[in-house]
Amino acid sequence: MNQYTESVRKQFEYYKLLGEKTFEQIPDNALFWQYNEDSNSIATVVKHLWGNMLSRWTDFLTTDGEKEWRNRDSEFENDITTRAELLQKWNEGWACLFTALDSVSDNNLDTVIYIRNQGHTVMDAINRQLAHYAYHVGQIVCIGKMMSTDAWKSLSVPKGGSGAFNAERFAKPKHTEHFTDEVLQKKS
């Protein structure tokens, strides 16, 4: 695996983890709450991510990323009713993504693939999806934080904790590591 695909895989793993750490902190009913009729619940966002991931990453290198079988509009009609179903769709989408990433190499990063007939290099298509998923995981975290019934456990540097966090970082010698390494290692 080259540096780019290794880095992007870690970033996708990081955003997956942020979603999962959010799910862990909220009660089941919070997964289905929506602010108003025009907003999305966490379950709806997960259903959309799932549909997008299956469409974009199935046969990633050989077929258009907008599959004929995808019904994007239905992704916003939430019919997920349980945490287990939500997690099943969440994990299925991410598994499709990570399997497709295994097909990426230095030899095909510049290959042109299509999303809705618009050409992207493989690298550009991956970057597009990384930004899209970070956007939606941010929505999940924001809703989760609002719906948390207990004290929210920060998923980044907690409020008022920047000084201590920076002091800890600057106490270490300069080194090179991916910014997600520490977080992902704690997960293991």
Q: Where are the domains of the chain?
A: 3-187
Residue 186 has pLDDT above 80, yes or no: no
Pick the CATH number of 3-187 from 3.40.50.1860, 1.20.120.450, 1.10.540.10, 2.30.110.10: 1.20.120.450
Q: How many CB atoms lie within 10 A of CB 118?
A: 12
The mean pLDDT of 118-145, rounded to a whole number, is: 98
Q: What is the pLDDT of residues 30-58, one digit of tens each?
A: 999 999 999 999 999 999 999 999 999 99
Q: Look at residue 1 in the predicted model and tell me its pLDDT.
A: 58
Q: Look at residue 57 in the predicted model and tell me its pLDDT.
A: 98
Residues in Cβ contact with 82 at an 8 Å cutoff, skipping those fewer than 6 apart: 28
DSSP H helices in the chain: 3-25, 42-57, 83-101, 122-147, 162-170, 181-187
Residue 150 has pLDDT above 80, yes or no: no
The mean pLDDT of 94-102, rounded to a whole number, is: 98
Q: How many CB atoms lie within 10 A of CB 108?
A: 14
Residue 182 has pLDDT above 90, yes or no: no
**Model's pTM, two decimal places?**
0.93
Give whole-number Cα distances, 13 to 72, 176, 187, 188, in Å.
24, 19, 10, 12
Q: What percent of the chain has pLDDT over 90?
A: 82
